A and B are shown apart, each in its own frame.
Chain A
Amino acid sequence: MTSLQSYSELELLNILISMCTTNKFPNVDNIFFQEGYRIVSIDRSVTTGSGSVKYDLVLSSPNKNLTLCFELKGLKASNISKEQLNRYKGLSTEEYIRLAGIQANNAINHKLQTIIGINLENLLKTEEYQIREGYNFPILSFGSQTISISFKELNDSEINRKLTKSVPTLGTPPTFIHFDKESRMSDLAHRAIPKIYSYAKVGTTMFTVEQIVNDVYCSVKELHNIIGPDVKKAVVNKIKSLLRQMSKEEFKDYLSWNGKDKCWMISKIHSESHHATDFAFQKAGRNFIERLDKEIPFKIDKDVPQGQLSLFDELEALDIN
């Protein structure tokens, strides 16, 4: 982010994750880890009596018997909804921690707090909105140099003390999770193309959609296990669409769908492929990404006569933007 830009929701999430790591990262202090918090879930829906509740990030400390639930609003923060905040307001802690599988030795006394995370420039508007609508959620605001809590205190006095003073941030935050529902096709292509090349170089000639999604989603591979299925499904659908598009033109010599085994096959590039072949694959990648960025249309699948099934029809129906 530059001084003129705001953080996206995904960037806010990545900053918070870097505050939960065992080591202090260069950009921000790992205060949540230091205070005993662990990541419970990311973007995961929990169905409760008052409806479906989906926080962007849930952290919990068994020792402190506290759970912190973050609702993040990136960029303009104009999409705060009353319905969503009402659901958080009326949430039963005991019911939520039971259904979300949060470890609590003393569920009756466990405290859960909802926190709204926004860009600093939206702080005033968000405070006014809460006053107007009668909400009391602490606001965690992310500036280009500091992160601080305001409006209401946190139940965790130590975290509250640190965030009231404000926690300094330095430079661009690290990226652990690369995609969310807002990710563009070219964001996915920048990671999927090298992964396919990597498969070829280690001698893997076929891969499934699930495999490549698991491999490209996060810089820390296992992290995708705690991400909720909704956002993952959106990414899976985009990857499916991306692979189809790739195999139609720029990558038609390198990538094909195997309907029998329901996997994608890699051709031409392999562990011993010639430097010129590898270079051509890289060039195809650049052309493909340029096509995505410039929104140049892809060819319609002309090879399938009318009334017959395309080999891609075995893939699930796509749900993409």
Chain B
Amino acid sequence: MKVDYLSEMNALFDEVLYSNHRKFKNQQIQATNQLKSYVVENHLDSINLAQSYDEKVIEFFKEINSGLTKYEFKINITKDENLFINKSDEGLMFIDTTNKRFWKIHSVAKAEVSDYFYKVLTKRKLFDQIWLPIPFLLGLPKYGELYGVGMSFTEELKDDEFDNLYPEKSHNLSMNIRRMYVHQLLDLMKGSAMKEVMGVNKISILDPSSDDNENYIIDDITYFGKITARGTSYGKHSYILDELLHNYEKSISSIENDYSLHFDNVLSTIEGQPIEITLNRKEIDLHKLVTVIFSGNKPFNLWGMPQWRNENYCKVNAVDLHNGNYGKTIDFEIFPNLIRAYLPQGTCGNSISRLLTNIHQSIDATATMKGVNKSDFFTII
């Protein structure tokens, strides 16, 4: 099926979803060509203003494709100005650029192909994945029914005596619960002494069929913006994806517009305010925390020279080494149980969602970021 418009892409995915659904229903075989969607943040629109957007996108993908070693891709324009297709023998990547900052990329190629392309893309300067903190993930069942939850935690603050003996590249904690027991698990987690290390990394949502049709979707949504769909309705998947993006973009815009600091020369006053992340985990080794976050290593990618003012107060002027905000500096102050960030105007708000998300996944799953009105930031109301 040839795709030239987003509407034709929608029809194609409906077809693929339904075919996979029938296959599973009739033969109990899970298809390998499941629909996968990725949300990618980019700042391509802000560079080389002399070029048209089409030209920028094509030039960018030509350059990316020329450097790929594992698969050969070729970028194609379509009759829809917002749709680009990167083609390879192993499958197609449908790039929906309707939202210039947050692209939606869809594929029914094998996961190893689409994941490879996504990883290459998000390693580029001016590109980043989205980062979904735990309150955001836990708010997503608003768009369906909670169907499953994934949890993992990579301990960064404590060392295990066996880590050096038997180096393993795996999480310290990893589990997946689906269907029954999901709510019980979440309740258990909230009251558990281990809640600080229960890093929710994935939420599955079921948007069920109504009585008179068999349209349904189950979306597995990861904290890094990959959404895998199973079911029969691309429309339902597309709706969930749209709402996810809408809520995320709203939070990022708020960080950039309401919190980033600048001096207003007309009013002669400072606008914005520092962002504060409260750590609720007990007995955090502050020196270890500062070393982990500001060493310049993954996942935090913040490079700084910590200045200890006293045992309970450290200042760091950190260079952000993550692609989306590469080379820009952010001032931080670290206290026991509090991280304060001064985001200069022009800094990408994704830096803050990345920091909070990575704290959730490896420092403290119960860390919170309060907004001006004292409500949890990144919650979906």
A residues near B (Cβ < 8 Å) are 2, 5, 17, 20-26, 33, 38-40, 171-172, 174-176, 186-187, 189-191, 193-195, 197-198, 200-203, 215-216, 219-223, 225-226, 271, 275, 278-279, 282, 285-286, 289
Contacts and interface: CB of A to CB of B under 8 A. Distances in A.
A20 B317 contact: no
Q: Chain A: interface secondary structure?
A: helix
B75 to A, nearest CB: 24
Interface string B308-345: 00101101011101000011110101010010101010
A20 B263 CA distance: 11
Contact of B305 (A171, A220, A279, A286): A286
B189 interface: no
Contact of B329 (A25, A176, A195): A195
A289 B305 contact: yes
B271 interface: yes
B296 interface: yes
Given A172-B335, A190-B317, A194-B305, A222 B342 contact: no
A20 B303 contact: no
Contacts of A40: 268
B270 interface: yes
B303 A197 contact: yes
A226 B326 contact: no
Interface stretch (B95-103, B180-188, B213-221, B272-280): B272-280
A18 to B, nearest CB: 8
Contact of A220 (B303, B326, B338, B344): B344
B274 A223 contact: no
A202 B331 contact: no
B268 A194 contact: no
B304 interface: yes
29 contacts: A38-B267, A38-B269, A40-B268, A171-B335, A172-B313, A174-B274, A174-B342, A175-B333, A190-B315, A193-B305, A194-B305, A194-B319, A197-B319, A198-B329, A202-B326, A203-B327, A216-B317, A219-B331, A219-B342, A219-B344, A220-B261, A222-B265, A223-B270, A225-B265, A271-B125, A271-B326, A278-B296, A278-B303, A282-B305
Nearest to B302: A194
A217 to B, nearest CB: 12
B372 interface: yes
A209 to B, nearest CB: 18
Contacts of A24: 273
Contacts of A171: 335, 338
Given A22-B272, A172-B335, A190-B307, 10 more contacts: A20-B269, A21-B270, A22-B264, A25-B273, A191-B317, A197-B303, A216-B317, A225-B263, A271-B326, A279-B296
Contact of B269 (A33, A187, A203): A33
A220 B309 CA distance: 21
A282 B269 contact: no
A39 B270 CA distance: 9
B268 A226 contact: yes
B307 A22 contact: no
Contacts of A191: 317
Nearest to B274: A174
A225 B335 CA distance: 30
A223 B261 CA distance: 11
